[in-house]
Structures are given as structure tokens and as C-alpha cells.
Amino acid sequence: MSKLWGGRFEQTASEWVDEFGASIHFDAQLVLEDIEGSIAHVTMLGEQHILTADEVAQIVAGLKTLAKKAQADELTFNVFHEDIHMNLEALLHEEIGPVAGKMHTARSRNDQVATDMHLYLKRRVLETIDGIEAVQTALYDHAAQNVESIMPGYTHLQRAQPVSLAHHLLAYFWMLERDKERFSDSLKRIDMSPLGAGALAGTTFPIDRHRSAELLGFAQVYPNSLDAVSDRDFILEFLSNASLLMMHLSRFCEELILWSSEEYRFITISDVFSTGSSMMPQKKNPDMAELVRGKSGRVVGNLMGLLTIMKGLPLAYNKDLQEDKEGMFDTVKTVQGSLSIMAGMIQDMTFHTEMMKQATERDFSNATELADYLTAKGMPFREAHEVTGTLVRYCIDQRLYLSELPIETYQAHSELIEADVYEALSPVTAVKRRNSYGGTGFDSVRIQLTEAKENLPTHA
């Protein structure tokens, strides 16, 4: 059995060389996209009278048979045929005979594989957007129930100011909204057809590239054949967007891991998303959150891998580009799995709001309230900051909190302080009052929820 491209060669490769050079082990995932692209290409060839109507009918019927077998997992691929394209052509030859060889007229594997990946990624990006919305919905549902639940807000992992739990959750909602926008915008670069660009220079046959693009549902056609077969920007952009998404999920997972610890006890993660220890029977580990956090490195690695491959490639196609797929496939699987885990884990999570509230009452996160209180009474903020800092230091020395200081001590530091200072120092008051747009005030958070809901078209 000779290679489909073997006419120019006198020697055949050793089996291990074929094995090293083959991509069928992973590009078999593109089987349905490859068949779809071939049907569109052959249909166009018939419309352009490059193939006869009978030839088109035979080839299309054979390809549809292969598609059914692929969906039923009944196709067997061979390393000898290297990739999904040559394997399908060989299988089509078995189905319909020599006319199968006409399928490749006016086409190269270079534009064929690029077409497959555009089709594949277009679908996967739409699925990823759906997955992001599922996580956003879980965040929204908890936020809607916890507008007036308060918790410590942190900077430098030190308690800073009390905030609404809903406000904290919505911060991640808006991060994911930007991720969703980036993926949506990337569709403009993915939704392009390289089909008909040939190996690098186009073809002498009178093909209609716009027609094959239309048959495949592409919005645009690459205007330059060299660019069409060598461009992998659309994959790099996907990997970059995926890296940002995974970074956001990883940040939230880090907080969930901290919050579920005995030191915080802010949340309980469902048993479904936890595991135990083989040695310590009391342990309940947030393994799914840790795995999502860890898998972010895997996705960033895939991005770095393809960037490194691309940075030294001359035009047009080079065999190096065979290495563009495994990282893409792995990222799709990793991202979609992570989104599914996150949506379920967040939805089933229990928030211990009383524990969160207590945490805001045993710290100095209300110090800014005292400084603002003095400023509102007419004291310059920088002076108010100094007075407040002095009182905090005094409290630390006396093992007290600001709300426990007697009014006499306050007035010894400033005559502007009156009995109403205790209400101002209340964590609930501190949160409630911050109603600047985008702030943590309860009214402001309700505005956020309204805006968030508008970004969830399927949300009930």
C-alpha cells in the first residue's frame, strides 16, 4: 500500500518514523469537521462544473455514510495514513471506489486542516460561553440572596473594610463577563474560511471560495492564501482568553479554599465536590477547587507552547503546525470541565453568613468609618487619618476594639466625636452607607444585580 502522496518517493519510511510523524492519534477529534468541510468543498466543485453532478452525488453520499459511522464510533483509523484527512480519503475510497480521489481537487491538506480547526473552535467557543454563563448564574443566585450579608473585605490578605457578600461574589461575575466578551469578540477571527487557499498560493481551478464559506456558515473568507494556511492567531487568541478565564477561576478557587478552612469557616463546600484523606479520617479536602486552581497552569502552558512554536515559523505552512492541536484540544477539555465543576460547586455551596458577620465585629476594618466620620464633622482627612491611627494603636495596646472604647476616650482625642460614633462604627452601617456607583452599599449592590441579570439572557 503506497502513500496517497507517495508518487515522488522511491523509499518508504520505517514504521516508527510513520508513528512519529502521524497526527491521527489526536486529530481524529476533527473527523466530523473534516467531513463537513469536504462536503462543502465538493458541493462547490460541482456548482463550478469542476466535478460532474454524478461525481458529487457519489462523494457526498459516501462522506455522509462515513459521518454516520463516525458518530457510531465505527471507523478505524490507520497510522499509515498519517492524519484524519488522508484516513478519511482512504476510507471513502473503500466506500465508493476511485472517484473518492476527486474529492481533493483544488484543495490541500494545509487549507483543509485550517478549515477543520476553524469549524471546531467556533463551536467550542460557543459552548465555552454557555459554560461561563452557568457559573455566572450560580454566582448571581447566591448574590441575590446575600445583598445584606456582610463579610470582611481584604487587601494584602489583611482585613480592610466590611463589604456585602453579594458585592464580593459579583466581582467575579464581572470578571467572567469580560471573559465572555473576549470569547464572543474572538468569533470574528474564528468565523473565517481558509478553504480553497490551497497549499499556499491558491489554485488554477475556477473555484468559488465565498460559496464554500457560505455552505460552512463562515462569515468571512481569508483574503490572502499565504495567511489563510499559516494563521494560528485564532487558536492563540482562544488560548489567551482561556488563560485569563482560568486565572479568574483560580483566584476564586483560592478564596474558596481559604474560606472553607477552620481558620475562616465562611463556607462549606458540598461533599460532592470534596474528598477525604486516606490517613486522617477527619479531613474534608476542597480537591475540586484545588484542581481547577492547578489546571490554570496547564492552560497557560498550552498558550506558551503554541506561542513558542509560532514565533520562528516562516511562511507558509510548516510541519511544526501539527503541534497546534493537542494544546487546543486539551484546553477545550480543561476549560469546559472546570466551568462545569465551578457551576455545580458554587450552586451547592453553603455560606455561613453569621460567621462572616462576626468576623467584621472583631477587627479594625471599621477604622476608615471613624476617619470618614471625623472628616464629615469638618476635620481634614489627613488629620482624621492620624487621629484614627492613634486610637487604633491605643486599642491594640489595651486589647480592645474601636466599638468598645468609652466615649470619654474618644473625646480626649477629638471634641468632634459624639455618641453617634458607635452607630457609624457598626459594620452594617459601614457597608450600607457606601452607595457610590459600583460600591458595596446595599442599594448600589441591588443596582449591580439588575445590571448583572441583563447579561444573563436565559436567567429566570
Q: How far apart are the first and last CA of the chain?
A: 60
Q: Which of 156, 193, 230, 243 is catalytic?
A: 156
Asked if 240 and 276 touch (Cβ cutoff 8 Å), the reply is no
Q: How far is CA 366 from the centre of its chain?
A: 37
Whether the model clears a pTM of 0.85, i.e. scores above it, the answer is yes
Which cell numbers in the block locate residue 274? 470534596
Asked if 119 and 37 touch (Cβ cutoff 8 Å), the reply is yes
**Separation between Cα atoms, residue 323 and residue 402, nearest integer Å:** 61
pLDDT of residue 278: 76
pLDDT of residue 277: 76
Is 104 one of the annotated active-site residues of the chain? no
Which cell numbers in the block locate residue 69? 459511522
**Separation between Cα atoms, residue 289 and residue 345, nearest integer Å:** 8
Task: Give, in order, the Cα–Cα distances in Å from 216 to each of 28, 200, 219, 222.
Answer: 20, 21, 9, 14
At residue 263, what are phi and psi to the nearest 5 degrees? -70, -30
**Separation between Cα atoms, residue 116 and residue 125, nearest integer Å:** 14
> Which parts of 299-424 are beta strand (E)?
350-351
Per-residue pLDDT of the chain (460 residues; tens, 9 = 90+): 555 545 555 556 567 666 777 889 999 999 999 999 999 999 999 999 999 999 999 999 999 999 999 999 999 999 989 999 999 999 999 999 999 999 999 999 999 999 999 999 999 999 999 999 999 999 999 999 999 999 999 999 999 899 999 999 999 999 999 999 999 999 999 999 999 999 999 999 999 999 999 999 999 999 999 999 999 999 999 999 999 999 999 999 999 999 999 999 999 999 999 888 778 877 789 999 999 999 999 999 999 999 999 999 999 999 999 999 999 999 999 999 999 999 999 999 999 999 999 999 888 888 988 999 999 999 999 999 999 999 999 999 999 999 999 999 999 999 999 999 999 989 999 999 999 999 999 999 999 999 999 999 765 4
Q: Which of 25, 277, 340, 459 is catalytic?
A: 277
pLDDT of residue 456: 93
Stated as kind and residue range, the H or E segment containing 118 is helix 109-145
> Which parts of 238-320 are beta strand (E)?
267-268
Angle, CA of 204, 205 and 210, to the nearest 5° = 110
Is 156 one of the annotated active-site residues of the chain? yes
Give which of 33, 38, 39, 316 is closest to 202, Cα–Cα. Answer: 316
**Separation between Cα atoms, residue 410 and residue 399, nearest integer Å:** 16
Asked if 224 and 192 touch (Cβ cutoff 8 Å), the reply is no
Asked if 119 and 326 touch (Cβ cutoff 8 Å), the reply is no
pLDDT of residue 363: 85
pLDDT of residue 460: 45
Stated as kind and residue range, the H or E segment containing 288 is helix 287-310
Is the alpha carbon torsion for 249, 252, 256, 258 positive or negative? positive
Is the alpha carbon torsion for 190, 194, 195, 199 positive or negative? negative
Is the alpha carbon torsion for 163, 167, 169, 173 positive or negative? negative
pLDDT of residue 244: 98
Cell 477587627: give the residue: 363
Which DSSP letter does residue 81 get?
G
What does the radius of gyration of the chain's CA atoms come to, in whole angstroms? 31
Which cell numbers in the block locate residue 426? 457598626
Secondary structure (3-state) at 254: helix
Give which of 77, 85, 87 is closest to 112, Cα–Cα. Answer: 85
Asked if 125 and 238 touch (Cβ cutoff 8 Å), the reply is yes
Which cell numbers in the block locate residue 136? 455566572
Secondary structure (3-state) at 161: strand
Which DSSP letter does residue 276 get?
-
| Omega before 384 within 30 of 0, i.e. cis | no
Asked if 34 and 42 touch (Cβ cutoff 8 Å), the reply is no
For residue 420, the tally of other CB atoms under 10 A from its CB is 9
**Separation between Cα atoms, residue 441 and residue 451, nearest integer Å:** 15
**Separation between Cα atoms, residue 256 and residue 415, nearest integer Å:** 44
Asked if 446 and 147 touch (Cβ cutoff 8 Å), the reply is yes
In the chain, the amino acid numbered 27 is: D
